Amino acid sequence: MAPLSLAILVLLGHLMAISEANFHQHFDVTWGHHRAQIKDGGQLLTLSLEKDSGAGFQSKSQYLFGRIDMQIKLVAGNSAGTVTTFYLSSQGPNHDEIDFEFLGNSSGDPYTLHTNVFSQGKGNREQQFHLWFDPTTAFHTYTILWNSQRIIFLVDNIPIRVFSNLESMGVPFPNKQPMSIHSSLWNADDWATQGGRVKADWTKAPFVASYKNFKAEACISCSPGAWQTQGLDAAGRNRIRWVQSKYLIYNYCTDRKRFPQGVPVECKQSRFL
């Protein structure tokens, strides 16, 4: 066998590509058991939240770099006080984590999409957005693209945020700990909606979020650099500028009150590296 062909086979042995994955095969319900229901032969998963408990699930595999897609339809109507999540996380006090969190709101007000990146147990890198569509009437695709150079958050394949690897400047970056995929629906009415001023209306319970069409093209046990080096092309940079100019509502990099001595180092670099 030619050396190149052998190298390709070795690489493929470390990759896992799942298309239209079956929730029965690839996920475990981790809490809230009967409130997490897998339907349609494993193609659909719903989470429900009542006053006493929500629910969550987790992937059976861990990944080190890759592209993870999940289609989600969020809680409709008055979703104040609820948080629906889709994120990657490792374990332990010095864990890494890449977050999508959807903060509910009163009927007629937009959801807040909260993003964050943790490395070696340190987060505090929040950016928040409103969406340019109603995320409760249909499924939309939320993507985490994570490689050794950067993390890209995408919504319906439109980039909304880039977090670049600036370890050379002393900024921690998640590139050593494999992470599982997690999702949950839970009660956070002490802080989620308008800082906790608007509480969940439990007469509207159960609140339901739905997931489908999970797809992972990801490394299970490969070293940094074995995955793609995908970044943003000119069209992608134009799209992310559009999103951030119109829909970005909080950016830790511009919060001078929070960082009176100066914003973190990574905030001084190009946002779209």
Catalytic residue annotation: 97, 101
> If 0-12 CB within 10 Å is exposed, 13-18 middle and 19+ buried, where does residue 233 land?
exposed
Beta strand pairing status for 127-129 and 248-251? Answer: antiparallel
> If 0-12 CB within 10 Å is exposed, 13-18 middle and 19+ buried, where does residue 3 land?
exposed
Distance CA 58, CA 49 (A): 17
As given in the structure block, the two tokens for residue 66 are: 């890759």
Distance CA 36, CA 30 (A): 9
The three-state DSSP-derived secondary structure of 74-110 is: CCCCCCCCEEEEEEEECCCCCCCEEEEEEECCCCCCC
